[in-house]
Amino acid sequence: MSNNRGRILSGMRPTGRLHLGNLEGALRNWVALQNDYECFFEVADWHALTTAWQDTGEIRANVRELVIDWLSAGIDPQKSVVFVQSEIKEHAELFLLLGMLSGVGWLERCTTYKDWIAKNFEPNYGLLGYPVLQCADIAIYKADTVPVGKDQLQHLEMSRELVRRFNNTYGEVLVEPKEKLTEFPDLPGTDGQKMSKSHGNEIQIAESPETLQQKLRGMFTDPQKLRRGDPGRPEVCAVFKLHTVYNPDETAAIDPPCRTGDLGCVECKGKLHGAMLQALAPLREKRAELEKSPKHIDDVLEDGNHRARAVAQQTLAEVRETMKI
């Protein structure tokens, strides 16, 4: 692969099936980036161990589910390299080498690490070293661009700092990555909070029509609109927020009767259910096809792992040479 278009590295942890927040917040962007960059998309199964090291029974199945979701959303393995982190052992070696340059106090200042400690999570070495492994993931492919939201800028800056430290110490081998800031829409979950697996409020990409209807029926709306006839406030309603994403053509017509109370929440949720089924139908159909083709998933990963490994091996050879080891 040539590097004349710029190279992107991004990934997700295989912690279960993806939800609509993942789809709208990351996958849609990834699909668009494929046309302008060489993209490496990583199933970050080692990263999943940082907080779930005691329960690994579902990781292999989750890897496949994650890849199916990616391909369903439009990730094209002919355009992009889709691979599994743990299949490319060079990540681990570069992680070890970069770890020698990483101060403990520097790592302890990471916001994500401090957030987990504040939740009374018992820290482990893997969680502390998460930014180093993340840097290795990026640097092993000499990715010059990483799509991030503003809340992820600290991690990327840590990667840049570590790459600079390596290059200044041993020689200019690794590429300092720059951010590609992306406005990730915060989709509300069923309880009105940001959609997240940790909150248990997610709507999965692969949700059945029946389960989707059930989740929408119980979804948080305006707490002041208790019954039909009560005036509503679309600006605070999670259901209306989903309308703006999956039913944008009707939002102008939904707003006034919601405010007057003429449109009840049950009817409004019914409209959303129909709109979401229609908007997600192509993705759901593609997913159903892929679920029937396990060999295709195997082939995609085998090819992606092979292509990723070739790049990683070359980078690591250069790292070893410049370090004289």
Has residue 202 been placed in a domain?
no
Residue ranges of the alpha helices (H) in 119-248? 125-128, 130-139, 153-170, 209-217, 238-246
Same domain, 137 and 246: no
pLDDT for res 1: 47
Span 78-110, pLDDT tens digits = 999 999 999 999 999 999 999 999 999 999 999
* Bigger pLDDT: 174 vs 57: 174
In a domain, 11, yes or no: yes
CA atoms lying within 13 Å on the CB side of residue 216: 26
Structure tokens that stand for 24 in this block:
């709208």
What is the average pLDDT across 268-282? 96
Same domain, 41 and 133: yes
* Tokens of residue 307, six digits: 């292509």
- The structure tokens listed for 195 are 């959609």
Domains contained in the chain, number: 2
Say if 197 falls within a structural domain.
Answer: no
pLDDT reading at 194 higher than 50: yes
How far apart are the C-alpha atoms of 15 and 31, rounded to whole Å?
21
Same domain, 214 and 170: no
* Sheet (strand 38-43) strand order: 80-84, 38-43, 7-12, 145-148, 178-181
Domain span at 273: 207-287
Q: Is residue 214 in a domain? A: yes
Q: If 0-12 CB within 10 Å is exposed, 13-18 middle and 19+ buried, where does residue 312 land?
A: buried
Whether 104 and 57 map to the same domain: the answer is yes
User: Quick one: 169 and 216 in the same domain?
Assistant: no
Shared domain check, 20 and 162: yes
Question: Is residue 99 included in any domain, yes or no?
Answer: yes
Q: In this structure, are residues 72 and 110 in contact, taking their beta carbons and an 8 Å threshold?
A: no
Q: What is the mean pLDDT of residues 11-27?
A: 92
Say whether both 276 and 310 belong to one domain. Answer: no
Does position 155 have pLDDT exceeding 80, yes or no?
Answer: yes
* Same domain for 251 and 106: no
Residue 75 domain-assigned? Answer: yes
Note whether residue 122 is domain-resident: yes
What does the longest C-alpha to C-alpha distance in the chain come to? 76
CB 124 within 8 A of CB 50: yes
H or E segment and range at residue 38: strand 38-43
Q: Could you tell me what percentage of the chain is helix, strand and coil, using 3-state DSSP and rounding each to the nearest 5?
A: 60, 10, 30
In a 3-state reduction of DSSP, which class is residue 116?
Answer: helix
Residue 98: how many CB atoms within 10 A of its CB? Answer: 24
Per-residue tokens: 88: 């490319």
Residue 182 and residue 136 share a domain? yes
Q: What is the pLDDT of residue 119?
A: 83
Looking at the fold, whether 229 and 162 belong to one and the same domain comes out as: no
pLDDT score of 4:
66
- Residue 99 tokens read as 């770890």
- ∠ CA(239), CA(240), CA(246), 5° rounding? 90
Q: Is residue 129 located within the same domain as residue 250?
A: no
31 pLDDT higher than 70:
yes
Average pLDDT, the chain: 93
CA distance 147 to 164: 20
In three-state secondary structure terms, 276 is helix
Q: Is residue 196 part of a domain?
A: no
Q: What is the CATH number of the domain that holds 164?
A: 3.40.50.620
The answer to whether residues 83 and 103 belong to one domain is: yes
Identity at 260, one-letter amino acid code: T
CATH number of the domain enclosing 260: 1.10.240.10
Assign 244 to helix, strand or coil.
helix
Rounded Cα distance between 273 and 257, Å, is: 18
138 has a pLDDT exceeding 70: yes
